[in-house]
Structure 1
């Protein structure tokens, strides 16, 4: 190892551009840095440089939160999804370096060049977030509301609830002479005006304050009040139809869906009771048929016994007469 290695290490760390975000707060990143220090460095870098390298890497990642404030790229806040995306990008590149098994000065060069690229990548992530989600001070919304309906102006953005250091929402009515009137102030991110009229049309401004006295979000609303919405009446269920010229008119009462359902229920009930009655009739018929058959059999058996007894009486009387 050449004697100017420590100077090279400091120079490489110093040439990194400032960036932003607390990537080092991510638990996965913290574990990866500990693994780099405990597992990778002992076999890939002289032990006397371990402490200095670890400190430089941590400082560099800490400086991710020092991105320059620019209205078109970074306004000081990002959301959790952007931090997660940047953290995984960092972890992927760090794993690529450790998997290559590079050592010594070449390892240090690749490590800090990777950090430089990750800062640029994070700046890109932050710019994408701000473009699509953050809504900088030039943000403007056009709102259309019908007369006699409620006007709702929503000043909340998706990162507000997860951010710290924010204070109150303030809504102002902006007049044509560039003066403003405070309409409401508090924790509620929405302004609601019930039953608006033409006099409520115009410009409004919402401002979310921060603890450092500078606004975190400013949104302008241009409100247009449209004429009262016409409510169309539903047609009557009675339909009058004329069949040709010179013919008489006839009307048909169309049943409502509710009446149709009631009719279906009644028909189903009648069908059920009819089926039950039919089963009872069939059962009674079978029972009656068996009773009639048994009665007929019993009657026929009784008639047969009586005839036999009637025949035996004359025969006995004839026998007695012959004996005498």
Structure 2
């Protein structure tokens, strides 16, 4: 392949020096040293073949999808070269089911992300509800401190940016039924190029009721309060008005001048 990574090269160099040191430490001469060096070179060759098989299977473009950025060493000129393992950025879609009231966790990390060169940024998007298809999605969780700002023109018009930053996981606490829908996560490399795209199709299941458990309180209509709350407010307002009227009447009677009241009847002698 003409390339090797720094870790494999370091391990091969250590094994080479160890083999030569063992040969030099022996007190051999003439034909014996030739035979010993021949066996040593065979051992070094077999060891290097083992390292390169591991490099091909585990290090050389291990990503099954996405664009992986790597730094390798050219075997001929020993130059450090930048290489991209491009398998297509689309990494498929995941189906998620979460019970209402539980945490919704969107994990965008893939196994090869840690080996990809450079800092990575994860951007989470949510598909907006189509006109007439349902209520507008709720507000997203607060953006983490230090997260990079995302230009509003990047996501498609049918999506909304939820968060952008170095964390590959987005957690939605106590997800409600409105949290269901389609999500998308993009991993970008240091230069801003897309490394991988992962889609999520989230379904929020209703929480099963336990026998004997009280039914959940009625949901408030859009822009209003539940009927029970409205009735409680009306009763409280009427009671407060009656108490205020009684206090006002009592104070009025106490403040009335005594001369204006009817005189007591005169008894005849």
User: What is the TM-score with the length of structure 1 in the denominator?
Assistant: 0.37
**RCO comparison, higher one (Cα < 8 Å, 6+):** 2
Higher helix share: 1
Higher strand share: 2
Larger Rg: 1
